[in-house]
């Protein structure tokens, strides 16, 4: 258990104050630690005359906004974990806005010049100290290169790391207390949730990582008309400063403006779904933060609008096995083959190997059948995954971070798609894509592709094949020789054990025989003779002779 220092104690007191101010003191006194003092709630004057009328989800959201950037981002991350939260709370947390007052532009200039190693005027033709956008981790400024290219410069907030580390340490303390004193919260594994958040936010503090993500995504869609990713200027980018091409487009949330440009909304909605599945199943590298604030639309050709993405701090990947099982799951869902869905979860290791497939199948059916009773165009892939994860948790399904990111992104894409075109039928768009992908993974096409990929390696190793074959045969022969030696040693050990046994038996038999002879050879009659000594001597002699004969046999 982590210890609470003076600074953390003051911060904890501030958190409690904020919770109480937003009418969340019932959360404090519901914990095991403070439950004995629950009666104090009725002593607070504000509970006599006023009770916060807002729903609990809204109160939690407002409290997190008051607590500052780290808690805002934590709430945003929690909103993606709908398998852990009640729907009303998750819906409110999705509304958290990561917008905070900007820091001084002159300070931003100093940070940039330190990263460049030169005055800004030596590198840029223009730089606007008035920021374009501001968030909890960084803020963005605009400028121009010497060749006239328009750019944006993303700058990490000064001294943001100590603040984040302090609040994360505090989150760990709260999570450990929650896990210790509440069985209900322990089931939600709060410490693991904080650890997941820590990794995410620490990754966002490295702008080189974000630049690498953007560069990879740009390369993946280099020859595509579906998605545009701005260029990274690597020679001006560092760990705390990111310089990228400036883009112009209509924010995707501005539906009315898109319609004014004559944008084909049905095409645009379907393209979003296509981009998502292309990233997941073809590129295995997907933008995992595709909320409306990070997506713009190029409407120069309204009949074929093009997506533009920004902010690449959070990227998701799936391994080949996850992709295979995910595609098969989607197709099995479409066919309502719940037994296959349950079996796939066990085979993939997402649920424990000992899970009864028939029980899991029944639970999945009870969740999915009500959903499938609606028209297909009203069914949400994301909600289906969410309900499935919630069901699987009852069967001890381990949290799969890559699948959580996938579910979050899918929900975002669906929400955007139906906002753009309410009649979007996601299944119609996705099913052919999934079927084509599955055909590429199995059968003759998959075998030929695998052979094509491995052929250069096989040709490279072909001259070595005779030596490799000789070495393999030699190792096999050496192995057989070693096996024979082991058998001989085992036989020798058994022979030695038998020899030792015979030695002990023969020695004992000889001793008994000699003892019998000595007893029988006693001179004269003594009282002992009348007590059975002759019979004893004959008995000992017979036993001794028997043992000698046994020991002398092979």
* Mean pLDDT confidence for 18-45: 57
**Is the residue at 456 inside a domain?**
no
pLDDT over 60 (residue 339): yes
pLDDT bracket for residue 550 (50, 70, 90): low
- pLDDT reported for residue 37: 45
In this structure, are 174 and 323 located in the same domain? no
Alpha-carbon distance of 101 to 206, in angstroms, equals 21
**Is the residue at 221 inside a domain?**
no
Phi and psi for 482 in degrees, rounded to 5? Answer: -65, -40
In this structure, are 490 and 425 located in the same domain? no
Alpha-carbon distance of 39 to 52, in angstroms, equals 19
- pLDDT reported for residue 524: 47
- pLDDT reported for residue 113: 95
Cβ-contact 220, 279 below 8 angstroms: yes
In this structure, are 269 and 366 located in the same domain? yes
- Picking from 347, 350, 358, the residue whose alpha carbon sits closest to that of residue 397 is 350
Please tell me what DSSP assigns to residue 269: H
Alpha-carbon distance of 389 to 404, in angstroms, equals 9
In this structure, are 403 and 492 located in the same domain? no
Give Cα 350 to chain centroid, integer Å: 11
- Picking from 331, 327, 356, 334, the residue whose alpha carbon sits closest to that of residue 343 is 356
Alpha-carbon distance of 229 to 311, in angstroms, equals 10
In this structure, are 295 and 384 located in the same domain? yes
**Cα angle: 105, vertex 111, 116; to 5 degrees:** 120
pLDDT over 80 (residue 262): yes
User: Tokens for 434?
Assistant: 């999934």
Alpha-carbon distance of 71 to 61, in angstroms, equals 10
Alpha-carbon distance of 467 to 486, in angstroms, equals 28
User: Tokens for 314?
Assistant: 């959070």
Instruction: Read off the pTM.
Output: 0.69
In this structure, are 175 and 62 located in the same domain? yes
Q: Which residues contact 517 (CB under 8 A, 6 or more apart)?
A: 537, 541
- Whole-number percent of the chain with pLDDT over 70: 68
Q: Which range (63-72, 85-94, 267-276, 372-381) has the least confidence?
A: 372-381
Q: For residue range 418-435, list pLDDT tens digits in order.
A: 888 888 877 777 777 777
Cβ-contact 295, 416 below 8 angstroms: yes
- Whole-number percent of the chain with pLDDT over 90: 22
Exposure of 39 by Cβ count < 10 A (0-12 exposed, 13-18 middle, 19+ buried)? exposed
Alpha-carbon distance of 230 to 294, in angstroms, equals 12
Strand order in the sheet with 250-251: 227-228, 306-309, 295-298, 250-251
In this structure, are 265 and 363 located in the same domain? yes
- pLDDT reported for residue 194: 81
pLDDT over 70 (residue 147): yes
Cβ-contact 255, 287 below 8 angstroms: no
- pLDDT reported for residue 299: 93
- pLDDT reported for residue 544: 58
Q: Which residues are marked as active site?
A: 289
C-beta atoms surrounding 485 within 10 Å: 10
Phi and psi for 127 in degrees, rounded to 5? Answer: -150, 130
- pLDDT reported for residue 244: 97
Consecutive H or E run containing 150 = strand 150-156
Consecutive H or E run containing 541 = helix 533-552
User: Tokens for 333?
Assistant: 């869902």
In this structure, are 405 and 541 located in the same domain? no
**Is the residue at 247 inside a domain?**
no
Residue at a domain's end among 379, 410, 442: 442
* Mean pLDDT confidence for 470-496: 61
In this structure, are 419 and 474 located in the same domain? no
pLDDT over 70 (residue 451): no
Alpha-carbon distance of 488 to 482, in angstroms, equals 10
3-state secondary structure of 399: coil
**Is the residue at 109 inside a domain?**
no
Q: Which tops the pLDDT comparison, 390 or 544?
A: 390
Q: How many domains does the chain have?
A: 3
b/e sequence 104-127, b meaning 16+ C-beta within 10 Å: ebeebbebbbebbeeebeebbeeb
Count of all residues that appear for the chain in the document:
554
Question: What is the chain's mean pLDDT, rounded?
Answer: 77
Which residue carries 């050709």 as its tokens? 301
Q: Which range (141-150, 174-183, 192-201, 308-317) has the least confidence?
A: 174-183
Q: Range of 416's domain?
A: 255-442
Phi and psi for 263 in degrees, rounded to 5? Answer: -65, 135
pLDDT over 70 (residue 507): no
Q: State the SS3 of 11-72.
A: HHHHHHHHHHHCCCHHHHHCCCCCHHHHHHHHHCCHHHHCCCCCCHHHHHHHHHHHHCHHHH
Most confident of 60-64, 116-120, 270-274: 116-120
User: What dihedral angle (degrees, nearest 10) is formed by the CA atoms of 342, 343, 346, 347?
Assistant: -150
Residue at a domain's end among 442, 476, 491: 442
**Is the residue at 140 inside a domain?**
no
Cβ-contact 355, 362 below 8 angstroms: no
**Is the residue at 284 inside a domain?**
yes
Cβ-contact 141, 131 below 8 angstroms: yes
**Is the residue at 130 inside a domain?**
no
- Picking from 327, 339, 268, 254, the residue whose alpha carbon sits closest to that of residue 303 is 268
In this structure, are 355 and 501 located in the same domain? no
- Between the alpha carbon of residue 316 and those of residues 66, 213, 309, 485, the distances in Å are 30, 10, 15, 54
**Is the residue at 10 inside a domain?**
yes
C-beta atoms surrounding 211 within 10 Å: 22
3-state secondary structure of 300: coil
In this structure, are 358 and 480 located in the same domain? no
Residue at a domain's end among 427, 442, 457: 442
In this structure, are 309 and 398 located in the same domain? yes
Q: Which range (56-65, 269-278, 494-503, 516-525) has the least confidence?
A: 516-525
């Amino acid at each position: 258990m982590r210890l609470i220092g003076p600074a953390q104690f003051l911060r904890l007191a501030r958190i409690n104050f904020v919770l109480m101010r937003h009418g969340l003191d019932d959360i404090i006194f519901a914990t095991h630690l403070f439950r004995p003092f629950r009666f104090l709630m009725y002593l607070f004057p504000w509970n006599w005359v006023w009770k916060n009328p807002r729903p609990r989800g809204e109160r939690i959201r407002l409290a997190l906004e008051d607590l500052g950037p780290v808690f805002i981002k934590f709430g945003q991350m929690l909103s993606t974990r709908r398998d852990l939260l009640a729907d009303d709370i998750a819906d409110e947390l999705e509304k958290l806005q990561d917008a905070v007052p900007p820091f001084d532009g002159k300070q931003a200039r100093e940070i940039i010049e330190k990263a460049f190693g030169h005055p800004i005027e030596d590198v840029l033709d223009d730089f606007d100290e008035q920021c374009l956008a501001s968030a909890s981790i960084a803020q963005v400024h605009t400028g121009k290169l010497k060749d006239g290219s328009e750019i944006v410069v993303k700058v990490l907030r000064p001294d943001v790391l100590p603040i984040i580390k302090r609040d994360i340490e505090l989150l760990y303390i709260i999570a450990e207390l929650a896990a210790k004193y509440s069985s209900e919260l322990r089931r939600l594994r709060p410490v693991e949730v904080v650890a997941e958040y820590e990794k995410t936010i620490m990754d966002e503090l490295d702008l080189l990582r974000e630049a690498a993500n953007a560069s990879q995504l740009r390369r993946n869609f280099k020859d595509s008309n579906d998605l545009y990713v701005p260029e990274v200027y690597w020679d001006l980018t560092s760990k705390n400063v990111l310089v990228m091409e400036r883009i112009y487009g209509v924010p995707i949330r501005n539906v009315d403006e898109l319609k004014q440009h004559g944008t084909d909304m049905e095409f645009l909605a379907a393209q979003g779904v296509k981009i998502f599945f292309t990233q997941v199943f073809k590129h295995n590298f997907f933008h995992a933060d595709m909320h409306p604030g990070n997506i713009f639309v190029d409407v120069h050709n309204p009949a074929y609008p093009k997506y533009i993405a920004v902010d690449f701090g959070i990227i998701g990947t799936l391994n080949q096995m996850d992709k295979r099982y995910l595609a098969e799951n989607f197709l099995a869902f479409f066919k309502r083959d719940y037994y296959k869905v349950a079996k796939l979860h066990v085979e993939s290791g997402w649920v424990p190997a000992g899970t009864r497939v028939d029980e899991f199948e029944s639970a999945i059916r009870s969740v999915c059948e009500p959903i499938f009773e609606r028209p297909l165009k009203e069914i949400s892939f994301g909600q289906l995954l969410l309900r499935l994860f919630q069901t699987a948790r009852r069967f001890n399904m381990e949290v799969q971070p890559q699948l959580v990111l996938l579910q979050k992104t899918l929900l975002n894409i669906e929400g955007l798609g139906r906002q753009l075109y309410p009649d979007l039928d996601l299944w119609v768009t996705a099913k052919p894509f999934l079927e084509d992908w599955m055909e590429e993974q199995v059968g003759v096409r998959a075998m030929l592709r695998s052979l094509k990929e491995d052929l250069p390696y096989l040709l490279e190793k072909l001259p070595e094949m005779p030596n490799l074959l000789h070495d393999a045969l030699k190792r096999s022969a050496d192995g057989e020789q070693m096996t024979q030696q082991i058998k001989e040693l085992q036989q020798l050990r058994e022979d030695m054990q038998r020899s030792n046994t015979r030695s002990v038996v023969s020695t004992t038999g000889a001793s008994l025989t000699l003892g019998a002879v000595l007893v029988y050879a006693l001179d004269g009659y003594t009282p002992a003779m009348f007590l059975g000594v002759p019979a004893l001597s004959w008995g000992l002699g017979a036993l001794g002779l028997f043992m000698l004969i046994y020991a002398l046999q092979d």
